[in-house]
């Protein structure tokens, strides 16, 4: 097994974003540089070596799927999206082909993740026999996206509530977890609030 898939988690309710004044049904359809956040995540995955690219939808399903129009992704619907992130992770992992070596888990609200970083994480994971996971780091801080090897799929599927893979990753030793130094701070930046989105838009405008 030398192939790795990607899962874009895009089922959340955006509760904090809407509580702090966000008007869209989900923050994932808010735009940055003219593109919905969830589309940016999916396009980064598609531009990488990861295959297949699976997007887990839930809350505001129609709006999220419309934002992904024409992209060659597989969408799977999580009916239990309100139960938390763990259910979406489990559904995404269950949709992966049986011969896949691992799955890279992308969050739909992290717009600065690019294909080059994704490929670096995949390459580092596949280059280390016995690795169970890989994750990017920046200035000593572990970030996202995290790659889960098939050896962790069963444990990840047993997670509940809003728990992601952080605890699983934290329990691994240095031989099992491959860390990849990220070139930018984007691995620790997500969009939780309207203020976060405004800051991202200012940053994008400054880059242009």
Q: Give residue-wise pLDDT tens across range 78-117.
A: 999 999 999 999 999 999 999 999 999 999 999 999 999 9
Q: Give the closest residue to 165 by CA, choosing from 90, 91, 58, 53.
A: 90
On average, the pLDDT of the chain sits at: 95
DSSP letters, 168-180, are HHHT--TTTEEEE
With beta carbons less than 8 A apart as the criterion, state whether 28 and 108 touch: yes
- Predicted local distance difference test score (pLDDT) of residue 96: 97
- What domains can be seen in the chain, in order of their start residue? 4-207 (3.90.550.10)
CB atoms within 10 A of CB 173: 7
CB atoms within 10 A of CB 2: 8
- Predicted local distance difference test score (pLDDT) of residue 164: 85
DSSP 188: G
Q: Residue 55's beta-bridge partner residues?
A: 8, 75
Q: Give the closest residue to 9 by CA, choosing from 106, 113, 95.
A: 106
Residue 167, Cβ density class (10 Å: 0-12 exposed, 13-18 middle, ≥19 buried): exposed
Q: Where is 142: in which H helix or E strand? A: strand 141-142
Split at pLDDT 50, 70, 90, the class of 131 is very high
* CA angle at 56 for the pair 53 and 58, rounded to the nearest 5°: 160
Tell me phi and psi for residue 142, to 5 degrees: -80, 140
pTM of structure: 0.96
Residue with the bigger pLDDT between 131 and 203: it is 131
- Predicted local distance difference test score (pLDDT) of residue 1: 66
Average pLDDT in the 127-136 region?
96
Is 5 a residue whose pLDDT tops 80?
yes
Q: Find tokens 């690219």 and name the residue.
A: 53
Is 189 a residue whose pLDDT tops 70?
yes
Please report, rounded to a whole number, the percentage of residues in the chain having pLDDT higher than 70.
Answer: 99
Interval 70-79: pLDDT, tens? 999 999 999 9
Residue 114, Cβ density class (10 Å: 0-12 exposed, 13-18 middle, ≥19 buried): middle
Split at pLDDT 50, 70, 90, the class of 2 is confident
Residue with the bigger pLDDT between 208 and 58: it is 58
Is 208 a residue whose pLDDT tops 60?
no
Average pLDDT in the 4-33 region?
96
Split at pLDDT 50, 70, 90, the class of 166 is confident
Q: Which two tokens stand for residue 41?
A: 């995540």
Average pLDDT in the 163-170 region?
88
């Amino acid at each position: 097994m030398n192939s790795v898939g990607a899962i874009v988690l895009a089922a959340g309710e955006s509760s904090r974003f809407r509580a702090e004044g966000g008007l869209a049904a989900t923050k994932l359809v808010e735009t940055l540089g003219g593109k919905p956040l969830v589309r940016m995540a999916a396009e980064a995955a598609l531009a990488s070596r990861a295959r297949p690219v699976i997007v887990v939808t839930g809350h505001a399903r129609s709006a999220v799927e419309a934002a992904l129009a024409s992209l060659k992704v597989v969408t799977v619907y999580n009916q239990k999206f309100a139960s938390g992130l763990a259910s979406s992770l489990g559904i995404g992992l269950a949709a992966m082909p049986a011969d896949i070596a691992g799955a890279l888990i992308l969050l739909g609200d992290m717009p600065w993740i690019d294909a080059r970083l994704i490929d670096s994480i995949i390459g580092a994971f596949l280059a280390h026999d016995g690795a169970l996971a890989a994750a990017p780091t920046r200035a000593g801080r572990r970030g996202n996206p995290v790659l889960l090897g098939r050896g962790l799929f069963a444990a990840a599927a047993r997670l509940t509530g809003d728990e992601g893979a952080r605890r699983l990753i934290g329990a691994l030793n240095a031989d099992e977890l491959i860390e990849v130094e990220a070139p930018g701070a984007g691995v620790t930046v997500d969009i939780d609030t309207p203020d976060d989105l405004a800051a991202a838009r200012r940053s994008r405008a400054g880059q242009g």
